[in-house]
Amino acid sequence: MTRKLYILNGSNLNMLGVREPHLYGSTTLKDIEQNCLALAETLKFDCVFRQTNSESVLIDSIQEAFMQDAALIINPAGFSFGRIPVLDAVKLIRRPVVEVHITNIHRRSEEYRHSTISVAATAVICGAGANGYSLAIRAVDDLWGDQH
């Protein structure tokens, strides 16, 4: 059985490396993608990596992950805060779901502290910088258990 993993990224993450580097660092999303695909291959995941600034496209990708019986790593970015349609889509996923945030959202201003997506996540990783994605892949591998 091939294990499928979707790594989905929300709004403005395509601007990593240039957008608020004092918060998000200088690592680009392309750098993160390359690292994720390499680690996923090592751990024997068939991996899809995407980014969108569109909520409807993000929902379509989550639904696709559901149809593929895939695990999900999601950095919903701005879609984290009060986006019920994204939450409803995430609730479909039967495999592990790990929510990732590059910054520690709990140390940020109030509007960034409460992700609605977290209630549907198996695990949440925040504040580990770009390395949070690698931690999330390893968490999915551990959480998947003996199913591979």
pLDDT for position 147: 46
pLDDT for position 148: 42
Q: How far apart are CA 105 and CA 127, in angstroms?
A: 7
Reported residue count of the chain is 148
- Mean pLDDT, each 10-residue run in order, the chain (148 residues): 93 90 86 98 97 96 98 92 88 97 76 77 94 98 75
Active site residue 112: no
Active site residue 22: no
**CA neighbours closer than 13 Å in the CB half-sphere of residue 111:** 3
In order of 33, 74, 120, the CA distances from 87 in angstroms are: 23, 11, 7
74 is in an annotated binding site: no
* pTM of the predicted model as reported, rounded to 2 decimal places: 0.93
Q: What is the DSSP string of the chain?
A: --EEEEEEEEETGGGTTTS-HHHH-S--HHHHHHHHHHHHHHTTEEEEEEE-S-HHHHHHHHHHHHHTT-EEEEEEEGGGSS-HHHHHHHTT--S-EEEEESS-GGGS-GGGS--GGGGG-SEEEESSTTHHHHHHHHHHHHHHGGG-
Write phi, then psi, for 124 (nearest 5 degrees).
-130, 130
27 is in an annotated binding site: no
31 is in an annotated binding site: no
Q: Which domains does the chain have, with CATH numbers?
A: 3-147 (3.40.50.9100)
Catalytic residue among 6, 24, 112, 148: 24
pLDDT for position 112: 60
2 is in an annotated binding site: no
What residues are paired with 73 via a beta bridge?
Answer: 7, 98
| Residue 22 identity | H
Catalytic residue among 101, 106, 114, 133: 101
